[in-house]
């Protein structure tokens, strides 16, 4: 019943849209009240001419214009009357036909092609991944593997197959258990240990627990070049408050990485959070050219041996050098972005805002660079 009520309301709305122009047509023409107004204007013009408030030429021009409008209004009134007699009847006939014909055609088509008598179904049961497991390939795979593992819990390959499915479904604790079973049954490898540590970290909402760190340590022992294990060990060091250790691990990872490694950007972003020098010029890049600020590879190696005060002085020196260069040549968008990130990491809010104003002024004639600058400012949360 509810379906038919909804359909009726939709049909009524469609009809109203269709017939309104027919009902309204012709009703905007001038009526008898317009004629009265124009006649009053003619009399007022004559009074103004008699009282010498306007000249004879002006009075004649105004009288001609008002007379023209009076004639048009009179013709429109006659046309409206005629339409009410003949055209009006035709419009009303068209309206009546539309009101009757459109619903009949619509309901006839729906009765022939639609399925109004189908039972109601929840949305989840009609979409892949909903409550109906038959419609979800992942659920089918998971159900089969779980049934097999229930019968044969010593099937290491089965645990290895089901673990990534649990990860995809964000069932991280079950994924960690599955990976642990796979290691105990199939033996440890660097990849399996890293996968276990990753599942444990996900289950802890991104915190690298002691158990997860132990898994990453075992992975490094098996394969010292495993980049995922190194990345997570750096994350563990940062979470333990050892920012310098985290920066060292990530610097070494970047230095040994292939230049086209897809994960380099992520590692550099993590490094820039714990090492302000990385915000000025990403480690591992080519040595800057003459006059360009930023640490070279030997600077980075030396920085690891510095005291906190020495490192702070080196960082401030590089930032000041970059700011000076940009003051002289403000068209370097990448330079401005490095400077803003450095100020953000150093907590120099006032300097960051001043740099924003200077950068906008310098890039005012380059709209594309200015748009990219504004997007970066918004991302960094720096007011200007």
Structure tokens that stand for 266 in this block: 């992520």
pLDDT band at 379 (very low <50, low <70, confident <90, very high): confident
pTM for this one?
Answer: 0.44
pLDDT on residue 30: 44
Asked whether residue 28 carries a pLDDT value surpassing 90, the answer given is no
The more confidently predicted of residues 342 and 192 is 192
**Owner of token pair 């009726």:** 8
Mean pLDDT score of the chain? 75
Which of 6-10, 25-29, 91-95, 344-348 comes out lowest in average pLDDT? 25-29
Query: SS3 for 327?
Result: helix
Asked whether residue 82 carries a pLDDT value surpassing 80, the answer given is no
Q: What is the pLDDT of residues 145-164, one digit of tens each?
A: 888 889 999 999 989 988 99
Q: Taking the domains of the chain in order of start, what are their residue ranges?
A: 2-113, 275-384
pLDDT on residue 61: 76
Cα–Cα distance, 263 to 19 (Å, whole number) = 62
Asked whether residue 18 carries a pLDDT value surpassing 70, the answer given is no
pLDDT on residue 384: 53
pLDDT on residue 34: 65
The more confidently predicted of residues 42 and 94 is 42
What sign results for the dihedral spanned by CA atoms 84, 88, 89, 90? positive
Mean pLDDT of 178-197: 94
Asked whether residue 341 carries a pLDDT value surpassing 90, the answer given is no
Cα–Cα distance, 192 to 310 (Å, whole number) = 41
pLDDT band at 274 (very low <50, low <70, confident <90, very high): confident
pLDDT band at 221 (very low <50, low <70, confident <90, very high): very high
Q: DSSP H helical segments within the chain, as ranges?
A: 2-24, 32-50, 56-82, 88-113, 137-151, 156-168, 172-186, 190-203, 210-222, 227-239, 243-256, 264-274, 276-280, 297-303, 308-328, 333-346, 349-362, 367-380
pLDDT band at 173 (very low <50, low <70, confident <90, very high): very high
């Amino acid at each position: 019943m509810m379906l038919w009520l909804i359909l009726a309301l939709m049909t009524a709305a469609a009809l109203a849209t269709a017939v309104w122009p027919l009902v309204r047509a012709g009703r905007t023409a001038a009526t008898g009240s317009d004629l009265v107004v124009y006649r009053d204007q003619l009399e007022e013009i004559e009074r103004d001419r008699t009282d010498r408030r306007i000249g004879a030429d002006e009075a004649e021009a105004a009288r001609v214009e008002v007379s023209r409008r009076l004639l048009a209004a009179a013709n429109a009134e006659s046309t409206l009357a005629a339409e009410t007699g003949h055209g009006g009847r035709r419009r009303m006939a068209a309206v009546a036909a539309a009101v009757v014909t459109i619903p009949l055609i619509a309901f006839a088509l729906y009765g022939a092609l639609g399925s109004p008598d189908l039972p109601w179904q929840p949305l989840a049961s009609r979409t892949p991944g909903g409550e109906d497991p038959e419609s979800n390939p992942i659920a089918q795979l998971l159900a089969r593997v779980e049934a097999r593992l229930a019968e044969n819990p010593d099937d290491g390959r089965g645990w290895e197959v089901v673990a990534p499915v649990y990860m995809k479904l964000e069932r991280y604790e079950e994924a960690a258990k599955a990976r642990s079973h796979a290691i105990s049954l199939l033996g440890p490898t660097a990849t399996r240990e890293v996968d276990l540590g990753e599942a444990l970290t996900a289950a802890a909402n991104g915190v690298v627990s002691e158990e997860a760190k132990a898994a990453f340590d075992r992975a490094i022992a098996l394969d010292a070049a495993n980049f995922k294990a190194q990345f997570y060990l750096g994350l563990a060091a940062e979470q333990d408050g050892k920012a310098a250790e985290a920066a060292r691990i990530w610097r070494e990872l970047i230095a040994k990485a292939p230049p086209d490694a897809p994960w380099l950007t992520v590692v550099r972003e993590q490094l820039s959070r714990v090492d302000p020098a990385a915000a000025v010029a990403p480690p591992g890049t080519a040595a800057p050219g003459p006059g360009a600020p930023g640490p070279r590879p030997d600077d980075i190696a030396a920085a690891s041996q510095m005291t906190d005060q020495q490192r702070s002085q080196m960082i401030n020196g590089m930032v000041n050098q970059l700011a000076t260069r940009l003051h002289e040549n403000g068209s370097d968008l990448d330079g401005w972005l490095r400077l803003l990130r450095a100020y953000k990491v150093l907590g120099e809010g006032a300097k960051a805002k001043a740099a924003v104003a200077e950068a906008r002024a310098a890039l005012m004639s380059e709209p594309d660079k200015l748009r990219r600058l504004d997007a970066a400012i918004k991302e960094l949360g720096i007011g200007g």
